[in-house]
């Protein structure tokens, strides 16, 4: 089990030259720790279990070996028979992963597509018929298409389970097992997860052969650059304190317990002169993408979200996370809080706690392993200005990047607006591709194992800026980029 690796160039880790060039073109020159740890094993065909928090760079960690294996095997691309499968819990994440993988795949003349619900299936069926190499899918729609005989997993050479713990949280494990059982037993399997509990351990034992485990930055390990505060407020003062908190100059994510609460708070903030948008399971896919886009581009500085977004909003430079309603359990606290202080940047997390929430908040922090600074706060308290005022960075894409991958991520932001059919901002690399927006899936049917993920859209990883001539593209398939910029690759937030 490894944890610390010196920075070694991608080329020395065994990454094929064409992929190194594609990474460099996107401004990504040095691997993140999870990549440096896992690539030497995954590139040689070993099964790998990678543990690392969202934002640690997992997308690139599995994208490179997946594409390298396909290029090496050089099998033909056949209709309806993809050669690699990446399973993700939500549609937002599918989109982000695709945006990260597309420019890399194109460097090897490989095709990538997404499969998820909430949108018509015809463009997906058409893309499958034309032949693709990598399918990035949520479990429900993929099972539907297999049932209709539009796709088979018989030719899969590499299977990736991304955000496996989130998949378990959303009740998708039965579907994941059925899909894994449909892939050839001798294929390579890569599993990435922020935590490794019993549910994930079952998957590892059942599907991975002698896996090498690499653990970098687990979800429970606190982020040094993140400061945690609990504001004890009276119920009457809570709205004003929240308003003052989110009015700072930085980009802010505010989490509420309910969809209604998110919608209401976003409206109240906007009415009081603080432009805000909401993100939750009641919104249509297009509304989600529109709201996420305005937040990631900086035209709106406040995003009010339910836990649907805790796992996956991958937007750079979120300087403040406010738990307007403390979450129900500590894992949700860590995932929500993980939307800030990404890729080496600093961030502030504030939990607003009313008198009746004190005991629960104390328990939450203890379970999360966090020792927050607790303060009694009323409107106008100087601490609010200290946390959100002078230290907050401007929201426009101007802040200095914290790392080359982070820089790439930022640079691509502008290019990204074009990539919007798929979903908001490409987010590429941090996730280096993933924005796993916790789709309505969880809310849609809870833990039953049902297939309705929120992931609902078909997206096609299209290059944002690369499409110089606006040429038409096959729906659902990543079009080749003319300029090759890793636009959506940019480090997206999810794991890069």
pLDDT of amino acid 169:
76
pLDDT of amino acid 342:
55
- Work out the number of other CB atoms within 10 angstroms of the CB of residue 6: 6
Name the residue with higher pLDDT: 244 or 166: 244
Nearest C-alpha neighbor of 286 from the set 416, 153, 459:
459
Q: Which residues does residue 227 pair with via DSSP β-bridges, in sequence order?
A: 348
pLDDT of amino acid 485:
35
The yes-or-no answer to whether 10-219+406-448 and 226-340+346-388 have a common fold is yes
Question: Which pTM does this prediction carry?
Answer: 0.58
- Name the DSSP class of 81: B
Distance (Å, whole) CA 318 – CA 345: 9
pLDDT of amino acid 229:
92
pLDDT of amino acid 132:
96
CATH match for 226-340+346-388 among 3.40.50.300, 3.90.226.10, 2.60.40.420, 3.40.50.1820: 3.40.50.300
Is the pLDDT confidence value at 59 over 70? Answer: yes
Is the pLDDT confidence value at 471 over 80? Answer: no
Q: Report the 3 state secondary structure along 449-491.
A: CCCCCCCCCCCCCCCCCCCCCCCCCCCCECCCCCCCCCCCCCC
Give the distance, in angstroms, between the CA of residue 301 and the centroid of all CA atoms in the same chain.
19
pLDDT one-digit tens code per residue, 253-265: 999 999 999 999 9
Distance (Å, whole) CA 462 – CA 479: 6
Name the residue with higher pLDDT: 409 or 297: 297
pLDDT of amino acid 311:
60
Distance (Å, whole) CA 301 – CA 275: 7
pLDDT of amino acid 472:
36
Q: What percentage of the chain has pLDDT greater than the value 90? A: 38
Distance (Å, whole) CA 408 – CA 28: 6
Distance (Å, whole) CA 65 – CA 69: 6
pLDDT of amino acid 450:
37
Distance (Å, whole) CA 377 – CA 98: 44
Decide if 140 contacts 454 (C-beta within 8 A). Answer: no
Nearest C-alpha neighbor of 429 from the set 345, 339, 496:
496
Distance (Å, whole) CA 235 – CA 258: 17
Q: Residue 249 corresponds to which tokens in the numbers above?
A: 């100059």
Q: What is the band of 336 on the pLDDT scale with cuts at 50, 70, 90?
A: confident
Average pLDDT, the chain: 76
In the chain, helix, strand, coil percent, each to 5? 40, 15, 45
pLDDT of amino acid 159:
96
Non-local (6+) Cβ contacts of 76 within 8 A are none
pLDDT of amino acid 414:
34
Is the pLDDT confidence value at 420 over 90? Answer: no
Least confident of 191-195, 303-307, 361-365, 399-403: 399-403
Non-local (6+) Cβ contacts of 116 within 8 A are 91, 94, 137, 138, 140, 141, 453, 455, 456, 457, 458, 459
Q: Which residues does residue 349 pair with via DSSP β-bridges, in sequence order?
A: 228, 321
Distance (Å, whole) CA 273 – CA 496: 34
Distance (Å, whole) CA 491 – CA 167: 22
Q: Which residues does residue 320 pair with via DSSP β-bridges, in sequence order?
A: 252, 348
- Name the DSSP class of 278: E
Decide if 312 contacts 371 (C-beta within 8 A). Answer: no
pLDDT of amino acid 446:
37
Q: Pick from 118-122, 177-181, 377-381, 389-393 the range whose average pLDDT is largest.
A: 177-181
pLDDT of amino acid 21:
93
Q: Residue 306 corresponds to which tokens in the numbers above?
A: 């339910």
Structure-derived torsion over alpha carbons of residues 451, 457, 459, 464, reported in degrees to the nearest 10: -120
- H-run or E-run covering 420: helix 420-423
pLDDT of amino acid 144:
95
Distance (Å, whole) CA 434 – CA 452: 20
Is the pLDDT confidence value at 493 over 90? Answer: no
pLDDT of amino acid 314:
67
pLDDT of amino acid 179:
96
- H-run or E-run covering 41: helix 33-42
pLDDT of amino acid 244:
92
Decide if 133 contacts 65 (C-beta within 8 A). Answer: no
Domain at 10-219+406-448, CATH homologous superfamily: P-loop containing nucleotide triphosphate hydrolases (3.40.50.300)
Q: Which residues does residue 303 pair with via DSSP β-bridges, in sequence order?
A: 253, 277
Nearest C-alpha neighbor of 445 from the set 150, 171, 232, 250:
171
Average pLDDT, integer, range 406-419:
38
Average pLDDT, integer, range 285-296:
84
Least confident of 192-201, 364-373, 460-469: 460-469
pLDDT of amino acid 250:
80
- H-run or E-run covering 321: strand 318-323
Q: What are phi and psi of 220, to 5 degrees?
A: -85, -15
For the chain, which residues make up each domain, given as ranges? Answer: 10-219+406-448, 226-340+346-388
Is the pLDDT confidence value at 442 over 70? Answer: no
pLDDT of amino acid 431:
35
Distance (Å, whole) CA 86 – CA 494: 15
Q: Report the 3 state secondary structure along 50-66.
A: EECCCCCCHHHHHHHHH
Q: What is the band of 343 on the pLDDT scale with cuts at 50, 70, 90?
A: low
Distance (Å, whole) CA 142 – CA 161: 14
Nearest C-alpha neighbor of 276 from the set 247, 304, 239:
304
pLDDT one-digit tens code per residue, 74-116: 788 999 999 999 999 888 889 889 999 999 999 999 999 999 9
Is the pLDDT confidence value at 331 over 90? Answer: no
pLDDT of amino acid 222:
46
Q: What is the band of 402 on the pLDDT scale with cuts at 50, 70, 90?
A: very low
Distance (Å, whole) CA 395 – CA 397: 6
344 three-class SS: coil
pLDDT one-digit tens code per residue, 205-240: 999 999 998 887 544 444 456 789 999 999 999 999
Q: Residue 211 corresponds to which tokens in the numbers above?
A: 């896996």
Is the pLDDT confidence value at 46 over 90? Answer: yes
pLDDT one-digit tens code per residue, 127-173: 999 999 999 999 999 999 999 999 999 999 999 999 888 888 778 88
């Amino acid at each position: 089990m490894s944890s610390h690796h010196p920075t070694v160039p991608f080329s020395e880790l065994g990454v094929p030259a064409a992929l190194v060039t594609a990474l460099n073109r996107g401004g990504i020159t040095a691997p993140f720790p999870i990549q440096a740890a896992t690539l030497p094993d995954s590139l040689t065909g070993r099964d790998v279990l990678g543990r690392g928090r969202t934002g640690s760079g997992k997308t690139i960690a599995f994208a490179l070996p997946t594409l390298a294996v396909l290029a090496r095997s050089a099998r033909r691309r056949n209709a309806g028979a993809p050669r690699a499968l990446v399973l993700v819990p939500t549609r937002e994440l599918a989109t982000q992963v695709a945006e990260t993988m597309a420019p890399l795949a194109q460097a090897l003349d490989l095709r990538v597509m997404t499969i998820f619900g909430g949108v018509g299936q015809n463009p997906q069926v058409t893309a499958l018929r034309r032949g693709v190499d990598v399918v990035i899918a949520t479990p429900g729609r993929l099972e539907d298409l297999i049932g209709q005989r539009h796709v088979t997993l018989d030719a899969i050479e590499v299977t990736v389970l991304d955000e496996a713990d989130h998949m378990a949280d959303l009740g998708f494990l039965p579907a994941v097992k059925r899909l894994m059982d449909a892939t050839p037993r001798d294929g390579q399997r890569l599993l990435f997860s922020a935590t490794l509990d019993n549910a994930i351990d079952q998957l590892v034992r059942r599907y991975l052969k002698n896996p090498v485990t690499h653990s970098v930055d687990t979800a429970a390990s606190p982020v040094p650059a993140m400061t945690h505060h609990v504001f004890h407020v009276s119920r009457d003062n809570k709205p004003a304190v929240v308003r003052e908190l989110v009015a700072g100059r930085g980009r802010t994510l505010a989490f509420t317990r309910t969809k209604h609460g998110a919608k209401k708070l976003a409206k109240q903030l906007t009415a009081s002169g603080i432009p805000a948008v909401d993100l939750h399971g009641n919104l249509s896919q297009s509304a989600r993408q529109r709201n996420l886009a305005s937040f990631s581009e900086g035209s709106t500085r406040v995003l009010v979200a339910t836990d649907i977004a805790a796992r996956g909003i991958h937007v750079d430079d979120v300087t403040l996370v406010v738990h307007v309603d403390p979450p129900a359990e500590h894992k949700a606290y860590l995932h929500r809080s993980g939307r800030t202080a990404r890729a080496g940047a600093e961030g502030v997390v504030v939990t607003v706690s009313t008198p009746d929430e004190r005991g629960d908040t104390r328990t939450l922090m203890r379970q999360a392993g966090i020792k927050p600074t607790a303060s009694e706060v009323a409107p106008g308290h100087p601490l609010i200005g200290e946390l959100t005022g002078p230290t907050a960075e401007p929201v426009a894409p101007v802040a200095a990047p914290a790392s080359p991958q982070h820089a790439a991520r930022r640079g691509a932001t502008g290019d990204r607006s074009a990539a919007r059919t798929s979903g908001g901002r490409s987010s590429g690399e941090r996730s280096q591709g993933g924005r796993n927006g916790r789709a309505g899936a969880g809310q849609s049917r809870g833990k039953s194992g049902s297939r309705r993920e929120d992931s609902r859209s078909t997206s096609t990883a299209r290059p944002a800026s690369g499409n110089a001539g606006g040429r038409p593209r096959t729906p659902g398939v990543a079009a080749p980029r003319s300029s090759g910029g890793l636009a959506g690759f940019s480090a997206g937030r999810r794991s890069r």
